[in-house]
Amino acid sequence: MVEWTDAERNAIATLWSNIDVGEIGPQALARLLVVFPWTQRYFSTFGDLSTPAAIAANPKVAQHGKTVMGGLEIAVKNMDNIKAAYAKLSVMHSEKLHVDPDNFRVLAECISVGVAAKFGPSVFTPGFQEAWQKFLAVVVSALGKQYH
């Protein structure tokens, strides 16, 4: 089980309560598709991903970004058992979606960049960054757990 300090729980709760998944999610997914273009392999049915502008304007990217970001709610609500809480989603990503789990790590990076840009230096302090990145790392690990 992951140990969370009170400061870490507070940081994650503070950030999460101020995150609009409909805003951050689409930005993070769009960023992923531009910065790590090989990730587009999973979205051949999404239509036009040919340029950064097309990706930013793509409604399927926006919708899916919102869905994925909303998935973090599971972790926020199950901080003391994130691994078990994501077991089903992990199986799905492995056996149905066939997503290389390294993609979870790079998406987490894109989410962190978006959150950093949104909250700025007075909220997204080094301490908050530590808590947030630890939180995402635990989710990333949980999503990769059921792969074999």
Binding site for other proteins (CB under 8 A): 30-31, 34-35, 52, 55-56, 109, 112-114, 116-118, 120-121, 124-127, 129-130, 133
Nearest distance from C-beta of residue 48 to other proteins, angstroms: 16
Which secondary structure element, helix H or strand E, spans residue 120, and what is its range? helix 102-123
Q: Which residue carries 């689409």 as its tokens?
A: 26
Half-sphere exposure (Cβ direction) of 105: Cα atoms closer than 13 Å: 5
Q: Which residue carries 């409604």 as its tokens?
A: 59
Closest C-alpha among 81, 43, 77 to residue 63: 43
CB 27 within 8 A of CB 107: no
| 34 or 87: CB nearest other proteins | 34
Dihedrals phi, psi of 46, to nearest 5 degrees? -85, -5
Which secondary structure element, helix H or strand E, spans residue 67, and what is its range? helix 59-70
What is the largest distance, in Å, between two alpha-carbon atoms of the chain?
44
Nearest distance from C-beta of residue 70 to other proteins, angstroms: 21
